[in-house]
Amino acid sequence: MMPRLIVVSNRLPLTVQSSDAGLEFAPSAGGLVSALGAYLESRRRAEPDFDCLWVGWPGAPVPEHQHGELRERLQREYAAHPVLISAEDAHNFYHGFCNNTLWPLFHYFPSYVAYDPTYWETYVRVNELFRDAVLAVAQPGDTIWVHDYQLLLLPRMLRDGLPGSKLGFFLHIPFPSYELFRLLPRAWARKLIAGMLGADLIGFHTFDYTQYFLQCVFRTMGYEHSLGQIAMGDETRRADTFPIGIDFDKFMNAATSETVASRRADLEAGIRGRTAIFSVDRLDYTKGILNRLRGYAEFLKRYPEWQGKVVFLLAVVPSRAEVPQYMRMKHDLENRVGQINGAFGTLDWVPIVYQYRSLDFDTLVALYQLSPIALITPLRDGMNLVAKEYIASKPDATGVLILSEMTGAARELGEAILINPNHWGEIADALLQALSMDRAEQIRRNRPMQERLRAYDARRWASHFLSSLERVKTQQGQLATKTLTPTLVSAICEKSRLASSRLLLLDYDGTLVPFASQPQLAVPDAELYALLASLRSERTRIFLISGRDRHTLGSWFNGHGLGLIAEHGAWIREGDLDWQMTKPLTSAWKERLIPIFRTYVDQVGGSLFEEKDFSIAWHYRRCDPQLGAQRAKELIDEVTQFTANLDVQVLEGKMVVEIRNAGVNKGAAALRVTAQLNPEFILAVGDDQTDEDLFRALPETAISVRVGVPFSHARYHVNDNHDVRRLLAQLATHGVPGSAP
């Protein structure tokens, strides 16, 4: 069978109800269903053999005697597979941990968070039910795409059951900063992060959410990243940004349909020539509906000349009726609407027309069409597709979007009037600006937004994510290095022996010598001196390329005829000549950062501060491992924010945090040496993240070896510095002209 796409979400794209008459099926709505529906439809048109299976909860408990019928009909009629959950588990899972713990925490409402162990236990159990359902239908080669906060644990569970699977995860709500995320019990937080890291590719709506996730990965699990690529020992993962789109053409085409035109005419008659301000939201405390009403009331108070000329069409869609905060909010909302209508209304004018019900698609588009102003002001929102739908429903590009800057959509819709929803005065002034905006200005703002939404629609979003997942899997294969076996060593020696010229680029600490408790103790031994001497010849050049300062390297290797590259590439010395800077550098920034580093030395017993010409470092090898790792994460957070406007890089090595000038790295230094010498044979060996710059810069013909980690840009890996010395000894014996083949 051909590989399939398996979509896994909390809910199926349909709802199942059991009655005396049997099973009844009805389509369900939502942003994910709409976005993926558009993509799947276009994919099936383009590829007749394309197959997709959707796995999820059917929306309600189904009696056990109907389970067989349910599975058979879902498979046959809807290409779906159910996850069957008891009523009690469904309540504790969805209304419990999902919406009383994760939802408020991820949306920055920590006071609403419930830390109930029963909810957590149910969350784990339901994720296991989803795992079992997927494992029951998955086939070799399938692509599995897991969605949203209800299933944060599932990717790791699936990875354990399907080790080689192609697995993606997408979060459709905000991911919080570490200061919020750390409020979870530590064991829960670690398991949630580990769960997400089971996926090869983890997707978010905005760059901010991606960065918050990467920060939490580092602070919670200790895994560092490079441009979103996360190194996890023998595994790699990638986190990236994919802003979800809408079915743009669906809304644009509907806006010109006769059905919508007729519905719009009916609605226009009801507002009697007044200017409509429209908003639609689910009932949710994150949506800022009460703030919106306060802002509207402030507008009517500040600008009384608009009283009687505008009408606020407020549609609220019922949601999560079992959660107490939602019922209290509904009560407060209706009281506020009554107060505003009572304070400002007249016998022939009602300032707010309020509806608490769902809207069908044609009515929704008609309201978008009817309203010159859309007021969309969530306090926190992962994306907010309503804002995009409003812009897409305007064929003539008129209308004004007032949008909260706290939404993910604000990153894409910068031409809208962006406001802080916590300030009612901003909402009031934005309404005045919108009402005063001429038609030409509206079009000037809306056309670029429409082009953006048309280009990156729902189909493009899904296609972009899945193609990125393919690339991540390919890259994982490329980064999976081979263990340097005796057979491979022999082949490398033979390649070296046949070469007319050779260049060896060797890291020092952790590569040629083991790490020491203090940097100055890792001095070269007699065996190392002899080994390097046996390798060096007229046609074999050796460069030690290290993060060490130039004075230490120089004192250790003076008179040995070696090339030395210090401070990760800031300084270079060939043989016993003078040191040279590889590029003009400044160290003025050090004065601002040294006090921060010294503070951490004072706070953490056993840690050390090291100052070099163009870098500074904080070593914590002698510290308590857990305390040192925790303080290192805090130091990186602090200096990363402090250095945002400085031309420097913050690096974490093995038990060291270092800051150096930007643009200085081992790769750039290696390119300088290889361009000058043009060797036929190149061997590079290193042991940490700074050496990845070196491996990436070398030509494909180079032999590159990473110490300790099997996932790297190097071609091969060995276990430790003893293996490195054995390799070099073999090279000295068999890898030079005249040696035994």
Catalytically active residues, by annotation: 507
Among 380, 404, 405, 376, residue whose Cα is nearest residue 389: 376
* Alpha carbon distance 124, 153 (integer Å): 7
Is 371 within 8 Å of 274 (Cβ atoms)?
A: no
CA angle, corner 265, sides to 264 and 267, nearest 5? 65
Give me the phi and psi of 291, to 5 degrees please.
Answer: -60, -40
DSSP 64-91: GGGHHHHHHHIIIIISEEE----HHHHI
d(CA 270, CA 688): 69
Tokens of 639: 């200096």
What 3-state class would DSSP assign to 37? helix
Query: What is the 8-class DSSP label of residue 234?
Result: T
Q: Look at residues 311, 322, 232, 319 and name the one whose alpha carbon lies nearest to residue 276.
A: 311
Distance from C-alpha of 620 to C-alpha of 601, rounded to nearest angstrom = 9
Q: Which positions ≥6 away from 304 have C-beta within 8 Å? A: none
Please report which helix (H) or strand (E) contains residue 277, including its range.
strand 275-282
Contacts of 302 (CB under 8 A, 6+ apart): 425, 428, 432
> d(Cα 201, Cα 49) in Å, to the nearest integer?
25
The total of other beta-carbon atoms located within 10 Å of residue 78's CB is 16
Cα separation of the two ends of the chain: 50
- Pairing relation of β-strands 229-232 and 235-241? antiparallel
Query: Residue 587 corresponds to which tokens in the numbers above?
Result: 């160290």
425 SS3 class: helix
Residues 6+ apart with CB under 8 A from 200: 166, 167, 168, 237, 238, 469, 472, 473, 476
Q: Are strands 225-226 and 229-232 parallel, antiparallel or unpaired?
A: antiparallel
Q: Of 738, 740, 735, nearest to 540 (Cα)?
A: 735
3-state secondary structure 500-549: CCEEEEECCECCCECCCCCHHHCCCCHHHHHHHHHHCECCEEEEEECCCC
C-alpha dist (Å) from residue 660 to 228, 566, 590, 647, 657: 20, 12, 9, 9, 10
